[in-house]
Amino acid sequence: MDVGTGQWTSKKFLGPCTNCRVIQPIVLDFGTGPWTSKKFLGRRVHDVGNDFFKLIIISQKNQKKNTMACRRFLLTYGSSGTNITHSMFSVDPKIDVDECYTLTQRDLKYTLIHSRQKRPRSTLIALMNLFDREYGIKSSSVFGYNAVSIGEETEDHPGFKLLVEHMNSGSTAFEYWMADGTLQTNKKGILFKYLQGESVKNNQLTRSQLIHKLDLAEKKIFELEKRKAEADILELKYEQVCAENKRLKIRNRTNEMLFRNAGREAELLPPSP
């Protein structure tokens, strides 16, 4: 670590291979700088093929995200264990789950829950540790995403997108429980706006569903425009290649003609004495 004149110049350090990707308090020693030590929140990220982990110090903004309380949580864990159900959360009176959605995949399971009370990420991490001891549920994660996602970040998680996809396709790998109503009738449900298919007509869509449908349409239009621009570039490059190919053919023919004429002129020359 380069301390310099008391201002550390790098936020990435090497540390021993322990507690991979677990956010925890980390004390750094700054030697003769303005402080002898300072405490940060950080996590170790595994570097494949290396015996060390890069220690990443989480910024103050991200520290607030980890202590922020939300009602929506997406839990990722191994597929070998049992499914997480709404009844398991009864061990913590501060969490009142009224929606629980689970998707089983080959390697991982995803459980999306909604709590009537806001809770921080640390509460769910502690519960996942409890589920490990009580039910053998092993917390896992998709590369680049937290094993416990909260709030709006859940919508960017690949597991969330898989949940929506399997819900709309009627997959047997998708199951859910709701305290009130069903997927089609509970308009306050966290997946309600993602419902698609013939059962949801345009004149029956809620405002949130219409907004989501417009967002999807805008994304498709953007993607089509992007592909069209790429196709135009490829077409232009193709025309340039064709023009260059034509120019080279003309050049080759000209060179052949010059070579033939030079050969004929050489034949007409009188032999040297």
Whole-number pLDDT of residue 273 = 60
Report domain extents, the chain. 12-62, 68-192, 201-263
More confident residue, 269 or 30: 269
Question: Which residue intervals of the chain are DSSP H helices?
Answer: 60-67, 121-135, 158-169, 207-268
As a whole number, mean pLDDT of residues 82-96 equals 90
Residue percentage of the chain with pLDDT more than 70: 65
Summarize pLDDT for 192-238 with one digit per residue, the tens.
Answer: 888 876 545 544 656 666 666 677 677 778 888 888 888 888 888 98
pLDDT at 11 over 80: no
Pick the CATH number of 68-192 from 1.10.3470, 3.30.310, 3.90.1570, 3.40.1310: 3.40.1310
* CA angle at 253 for the pair 252 and 256, rounded to the nearest 5°: 85
Q: Starting at the earlier edge strand, list the strands of the sheet with 108-120.
A: 148-150, 69-78, 108-120, 97-104, 174-178
Whole-number pLDDT of residue 261 = 77
Summarize pLDDT for 41-72 with one digit per residue, the tens.
Answer: 555 454 444 444 444 444 444 545 556 889 99
**Which residues are 232's β-sheet partners?**
none
φ/ψ of residue 115, rounded to 5: -110, 145
Q: Starting at the earlier edge strand, list the strands of the sheet with 37-46.
A: 12-16, 52-57, 37-46, 24-29
pLDDT at 272 over 90: no
Whole-number pLDDT of residue 15 = 43
* Start-to-end C-alpha separation, the chain: 86
